[in-house]
A and B are shown apart, each in its own frame.
Chain A
Amino acid sequence: MGLTGSQILLESLTLEGVDTVFGYPGGAVINIYDDLYESSINHVLTRHEQAAVHAADGYARCTGKVGVAIATSGPGATNTVTGIATAYMDSIPMVVITGQVPTPLIGNDAFQEADMCGITRPCTKHNFLVKDIRDLAKTIKEAFYIARTGRPGPVLIDLPKDIQVATHKFSYPDKVNLRGYKPTYSGNIRQIEKAAKMILAARKPVLYVGGGITLSGADDVLLKLAEQTQIPVTTTLMAMAAFPQRHPLALGMLGMHGTFSANMSVTECDLLIAVGSRFDDRVTGRIDSFAEKAKVIHVDIDPTSIGKNVGVDLPIVGDLKDVLGKLQGCLGKKAELVEDLVEATKEWRTMIDEWKERHPMTYRSSKSVIKPQYVIEKISELSDENAIVTTEVGQHQMWAAQFFTFRQPKTFLTSGGLGTMGFGLPSALGAQVAYPDRQVIDISGDGSFQMNSQELATLVQYNLPVKIVILNNNYLGMVRQWQQMFFEKRYSQTVMELPIDFIKLAEAYGATGLQATKVDDVESTIKQALEIPGPVLMNFKVSREENVLPMVPAGKAIHEMVLAS
């Protein structure tokens, strides 16, 4: 007795440990949805396929599990592309299942046909078109394996309708055999010993940490290593929650909107230890001045990341947890030398502390108008230790990174690589599905919010108590800031001329809307929102032409910052 393709799909998902999927139905997946009707798998119906993928992404980022999204062929499938590209740029483990027209019709410009393998080739880690029911179980096994191992990433399975209804005996393979895919997990011990030597010889070392640290689950090992060696830690946008930001060794974010101390430390250091980071241009500024005086150690599981943008003195390919663990072991055996290192780098840390004191992350506060930075500080203060924060993209995103004090890994979900407006609300939705009892807060801008505001419906339908914070400046603020600084204040198409009544919008969906126009309202509004059991939208009318500072103008070195006065 066989199972249908769609039954094989659902059985396989269950065997992969998937209990929740996000999706949107249509003709080319109607069979899958028919089987979902009585399946134990929990399906969350978003209001847009892009949101389904972002939700699966948010779910994956905060749990470390593979997120799963389903969409129909054609427009449903093409709607997933931004979500997939977002996950790809940030290396998020995800499997996206799209329906496809029946195999005999492929290539005929059939109704709702789109070449999804062609379209997503450059933004997936791998993709599959299943052309034979006999390959289905094996394909799903491989898709999950590829998505979660090595450098994680999204994998698409394009599943034609005739394969969904065909039947075949179900047996799920327990192993995969991909001869072209063998990620290196174990770091070369000789290279690691060399790294230990370089660290012990350094006088001005800095750890430059990226999103890979969380993907590897190495946040704890990093903390131990930093404390053992007393090496200061600067984190990228993707890693803000990977290191406790109130730790004395924390330098905060580096790069275009990084802290003075982080950017100066990288500029002045004699050893840069890059772990799970990829020297993105928003981090490095002018590349030839980046860490100019330093020797560079680069640890990453993806060999293509190493030496791509910056020359490296010591490359180490491997899983960060393995490599940092071994490194710690190496150093542990040389306790005296480590003590010497800690002593010899005291001056360096004093210098950094002076930088921190001289130019802390700051803004000009106000009594008359709500400063967006102030709202973030208050949310940071009033939210739970394990609250999950998501963001959209723009000034509010940078302020969230700068002024929220992150304390636990996997609590900051933001689109770093692609910078996707519209990511925050659906990813918050996904995070809240994963953790119904934790606070989940979407920090949003008035522009970005409108890119996926339809997901208010999903929040209300599933009673997901996400708290939405709109830092409403009535501008596409980040673009406006560039126009102010580099285009003589010619605010071309960045003024949101139609002021939206966000409160009414929230209420139309059955959510609660709260408004704050005065500084004194900020705290009470946040407190009130956190107490309301359902989804709440908070509209903060903030000072309109506030700028994100410090800022490294494009083409400048990262120590050439425009600072907050």
Chain B
Amino acid sequence: MKHTISVLVENEFGVLSRISGLFSGRGFNIESLSVAPTIDSALSRMTLVTRGDDQILEQITKQLNKLISTIKVVDFTDGEYIERELALIKVATDAESRAEALRIVDIFRAKVIDVTPKSYTIEITGAPAKINGILELLRPMGIKEVVRSGPVVIGRGAKGVVG
């Protein structure tokens, strides 16, 4: 089963390698990972997506917690949360397909952020499924490049996850 986990870590030298090394060293799967400092610049927040059965997930969260640099681990899977991912997509266009491309961009509330005679670069945010959706529709035109940020998540409601 897929799990989305937030990890609050000390924003210090080598911390990313501690986390990624833990996953590779113990054979845990890692589908995506995004990292950036939080409002407290001494902390970084990682969001990672992983897969595994309950026993593996229990090990993953325990092992993450065990790292000295880890301050908090939250597995969002069981609760209510909002998930967003950013994608930048470069799609090939010609006279024939430009109107169709714009229609798709419109439907998905995406944005064209760069234009050349032969291409559009599209920015889209949303749940990963939405990004998969637009990619599916753009694919016939010829996708030249895709950059996805990997999802970030935040819990619903008034309570925040802090260190």
Contact = CB atoms under 8 A, between A and B. Distances in A.
Interface string A99-127: 00000000000000000011001100110
B58 A307 contact: yes
Contacts of B69: 126, 180
A303 interface: yes
A270 to B, nearest CB: 24
B18 A180 contact: no
Nearest to B60: A304
A205 to B, nearest CB: 26
Given A129-B14, A180-B9, A304 B68 contact: no
Interface residues of B, number: 21
B100 to A, nearest CB: 50
Interface in B93-140: none
Contacts of B71: 179-180
Contacts of B68: 125-126, 146, 178, 180-181
Interface in A237-261: none
B36 interface: no
Contacts of B21: 121-122
Contact of B67 (A117, A129, A180, A307): A180
Given A122-B25, A146-B68, A302-B66, A307 B17 contact: no
B18 A121 contact: yes
B41 interface: no
B13 A129 contact: yes
A308 interface: yes
Contacts, number: 39
Question: Which of B58, B68, B71 has the most chain A CB atoms closer than 10 A to its own CB?
Answer: B68
Given A126-B68, A180-B71, A181-B68, A121 B17 contact: yes
Contacts of B9: 180
A131 interface: yes
Given A180-B67, A180-B68, A303 B18 contact: no
Given A122-B25, A308-B59, A179 B14 contact: no
Interface in A275-310: 302-304, 307-308
Nearest to B54: A307
B17 A304 contact: no
A181 B72 CA distance: 10
Nearest to A183: B66
B70 interface: yes
Q: How large is the interface on A (under 10, 10 to 19, 20 to 34, 35 or more residues)?
A: 10 to 19
A304 B18 CA distance: 16
Interface string B6-38: 000110011001100100010000000000000
Contacts of A146: 68
Nearest to A305: B62
Nearest to A306: B62
Contacts of B58: 307
Given A118-B17, A179-B71, A304 B25 contact: no
Nearest to B64: A304
A331 to B, nearest CB: 29
Contacts of B10: 180
Contacts of A178: 68
B62 A303 contact: yes
Nearest to B24: A122
A121 B10 CA distance: 16
B65 interface: yes
B13 A304 contact: no
Contact of A179 (B13, B18, B163): B163
Interface in B134-152: none
A117 B18 CA distance: 10
B77 interface: no
Contacts of A302: 66
Contact of A304 (B14, B55, B62): B62
A179 B13 CA distance: 17
Contacts of A307: 55, 58-59
A234 B10 CA distance: 41
B62 A117 contact: no
Nearest to A126: B68
A304 B65 CA distance: 9
A351 B55 CA distance: 35
B138 to A, nearest CB: 41
A259 B13 CA distance: 48
B70 to A, nearest CB: 5
A233 B77 CA distance: 41
Nearest to B71: A180
A88 to B, nearest CB: 12
A339 B9 CA distance: 51
14 contacts: A118-B17, A121-B18, A121-B21, A122-B25, A126-B68, A126-B69, A131-B13, A178-B68, A179-B71, A180-B71, A303-B62, A303-B65, A304-B62, A308-B59
* 5 nearest A-B pairs in the assembled complex, by CB-CB distance: A304-B62, A126-B68, A180-B71, A181-B68, A122-B25
Interface of B: 9-10, 13-14, 17-18, 21, 25, 55, 58-59, 62-63, 65-71, 163
Given A180-B10, A180-B70, 20 more contacts: A117-B14, A118-B14, A121-B18, A121-B21, A122-B21, A126-B68, A129-B13, A129-B14, A131-B13, A179-B71, A181-B68, A302-B66, A303-B62, A303-B65, A304-B59, A304-B62, A304-B63, A304-B66, A307-B59, A308-B59
